[in-house]
Structure 1
């Protein structure tokens, strides 16, 4: 209903087992990202009990080291590193552009990760999760604008749902702030 015929035909080609594996991996990855931000906030509040720049940098560096090790070991453990030369040769970009693209992607992800840790420290892990949900369809829509991809119903629905979630978060946060301000005014009037 929301997909074009070519996308529907493409999805039929994959087996039901592969589709179920992709679905489960997507859910697990989403839950893992949320748990990572929640555990980071819990680490700041309960374990480290200090929220200073050095501690934040330690958290960022240690998590980044683990992520880099996993990302570096995986291609060698799975044997995918053998196909890297073929992938570079088959790519439409030159080899230097291909490597530069990979390096810029890695740098961008590290900046995202550092900003996420900073936002967890300054605001909350829920805010980071809301922003990441909001950013996902925005990136897809930017691809439609800049790379002339097709805009389909799935992208439109994901954008609407992301905006709805973000507006709900802001409205709830504003409502809590308004209620706490009203309670503070009432307490101050009683004390006088």
Structure 2
């Protein structure tokens, strides 16, 4: 399904290239490319293939994990691009790039920390579930109280929770 979206986007981009007359500038870019026309074409082809692979990879992450995880992994990739662009392409590291990198790392670390907290809550709930409670359901025939575990399991279904059960 995502392939069709990419084909349509490519077709619209090519149509816009010809409609605006920008296609004339491509010949000038080609002539001005230092490494030659073959490398220019290989670079454009490599960029197109890399974007297709990245897009399909993100779609696969959405279907296998979640859309949030796909966004987090792409956010993690944001600070990597400027870091690699400086030594590989001689790009300058500006203040805006540093701030963008810090925000991307902060977002990723927030995601990781939230998962850590969620896992801790689940572990604590499981430990409390295993701990024996001391509630009494009544008495046995010999007069001793019947004990049970008094842990209340949280209900995640909102329809059931509205009927008076504890919500998470």
What is the TM-score normalised by the length of structure 2? 0.70
Residue number in structure 1 paired with 2:43: 101
Displacement of 1:73 in angstroms is 1.9
2:17 corresponds to which residue? 75
Unaligned runs of 5+ in 1: 1-58
Hey, what does 1:120 align to over in structure 2? 62
Residue 187 of structure 1: how far off its partner (Å): 4.3
The answer to whether the 8 A contact 2:30-2:40 is kept is yes
- Greater relative contact order: 1 or 2 (C-alpha under 8 angstroms, separation 6 or more)? 1
Q: By how many angstroms is 1:103 displaced?
A: 0.3
Question: SS of 1:157's equivalent?
Answer: helix
Structure 1 vs Structure 2 CA RMSD = 2.2
Q: Give the aligned length.
A: 134
1:84 to 16, 26, 37: 26
CA distance in 1, matches of 2:19, 2:124: 59
1:160 and 2:81 correspond = no
State the alpha-carbon separation in 1 of the partners of residues 128 and 7 from structure 2: 50
Residue 188 of structure 1: how far off its partner (Å): 5.6
Which of the pair is proportionally richer in strand?
2
CA contact (8 A) 2:79 2:105 kept: no
Q: TM-score, normalized by length of structure 1?
A: 0.62
- Name stretches of at least 5 consecutive residues in structure 2 with no aligned partner: 132-148, 152-168
